[in-house]
Structures are given as C-alpha cells and as structure tokens.
Amino acid sequence: MMGWLNDIMDYVFPRYCVVCGQALSSSENFLCAECLIRLPRTNLHLQKDNDIEKNLWGKMPLERASAYLRYHKKGMVSTLVANLKYKGNARLGVFMGRCMAKDLQGSSFFAGIDFIVPLPLHKSRLKQRGYNQSEQLAQGISLVTNIPMRTDILVRKRNTETQTLKSEVQRWENLQDGFECRSPEELTGKHILLVDDVMTTGATVVACADACNKIPRLRISVLTLSVAADM
C-alpha cells in the first residue's frame, strides 16, 4: 500500500503494540520499534552446549536446541505469548517466527534441517483456539529459511496441554504416548526442527521425540520462541 494510504488507515484504524500498547506507526507491525529492540533475546544459539541442550541431553537424540527469548512472569515475553495463545492473534505468530529466523539465520542453526515440524495441538484444543500457535511460528520460520514446514508428521493423541497444576512427575507421565508419528518411513535419515512457543521442562519436546524413536538415523533439533527464566 502507498505510504499516505497507510497513514490514513492508521489514523482511522489505529493499531497498537501488543507489548506496551502504544499506537504503531505505518512501518511497524505488532510490536513498536522500541519493544522489538528491547525483547530479551537469549542468543543461546551462539552458545555451544547451551542450557536448553543440556536439559535435553540423555532424554532424546538431540542435534541442537535454542530458545529465542527469555520468559519472565509478567514480563514483555509473557504479554507476547498471551497475545499469541489466548487473544486470537495468529498472525503475531508468523511475525515472531520471521523475527527469530532472521536473527538466527546468520548462524549455522538451520544448516542441514530438512523439515520444520510445529508441535501439534490436540484437535479439541485446535478447534477451541482456531489455530496452532506453534504452527504460526513455524510458518514464519519457513518463510524466511525456505525450509518446508510439515504439519502431517506429528499428531497429538491426547489433550495434555493444560497441566499447569500437575507436579513435574505427573506432567512427564501424562505426556507419555501423547504423540504419534505419521509417515515415519519418510523421515529415515532426515533432520527435523521441532518448533514450540514456550520451553519449560522440555517434557513435551521429549514426548515428541519418543514418538519418533523407531525411525532410523532421524536427527532432531529444537527451537522455541521462549524459555522460562528460571530454567
């Protein structure tokens, strides 16, 4: 759209930063320039054997792992994730996927990855939310990296997403056999990137890896939008 038309549109239909609530200029999308700069990036992708990788070692065959932002309760990233998950802001997911892919692209993080696989939602949750936030993130990453996204590989068998009140042991037990791998024969010798919004214990990612454990020479990497600050 032409610049002046954008300016008029912003005047008639003002758009606001999802983090600080300030009106956006015509060149800004979802986040104002200041919030975008201030996002607490972890830069963990630049660290060999980073804490996310260490947390997953021994639990799954892992190539590499990173999380883009640090998640603090009541912080910028929690507002961002709440918008993405609970306020119907699906396009924000694509935007954030693009942001993280652009930031990580300068490193070798995406090298050799064959497919981007978003963590699936259970179909009842998908119906409720209308979209899968991890799929929106994965789509943004795919657009920047040109690595194909596959949503037909992993299926969630049980609705295990709401488990905030459960103890860590219960969470792990609850997630066992929670996922199923479709088209395993296609994945022999491939390298997939699992994408999710928030990393806490890593239990969900490990459950996905478990579902793929019969596939010969499959390599798995993990990228999440955020990681809990106390992890």
Where on the chain is the footprint of Zn ion (CB under 5 A)? 17, 19-20, 32, 35
Place of tokens 């300016």: 7
Q: With respect to Zn ion, which residue has the nearer C-beta, 25 or 188?
A: 25
User: What's the one-letter identity of residue 231?
Assistant: M
Q: Least Å distance between CB 7 and Zn ion?
A: 19
Reading the block at residue 118, the tokens are 């978003």
Q: Give the residue ranges of DSSP H helices in 57-147.
A: 76-86, 90-105, 123-129, 133-145
Residue 196 bridge partners (DSSP):
224
Residue 119: closest CA among 227, 228, 202: 202
Q: Taking the complex as a whole, how short is the minimal distance between the CB of residue 43 and Zn ion, in angstroms?
A: 21
- Nearer to Zn ion by Cβ, of 34 and 173: the residue is 34
Residue with Cβ nearer Zn ion (17 or 153) = 17
Cβ of residue 159: shortest distance to Zn ion, in angstroms? 34
- Please give the sequence-ordered ranges of beta strands (E in DSSP) within 166-212, or none if there are none: 179-181, 191-199
Q: What is the DSSP string of 137-158?
A: HHHHHHHHH-PPB-SSSEEE-S
CB of 25 to Zn ion, least distance (A): 11
Q: How far is the CB of 28 from Zn ion (least distance, A)?
A: 9
Of 21 and 112, which has the nearer Cβ to Zn ion?
A: 21
CB of 31 or CB of 211, closer to Zn ion: 31
d(CA 119, CA 198): 11
Taking each helix axis from N to C end, the angle separating 90-105 and 76-86, rounded to the nearest 10 degrees, works out to 130
Nearest distance from residue 26's CB to Zn ion, in Å?
A: 15
Nearer to Zn ion, 80 or 220 (CB): 80
Is there a contact between 35 and 76 (Cβ–Cβ < 8 Å)? yes
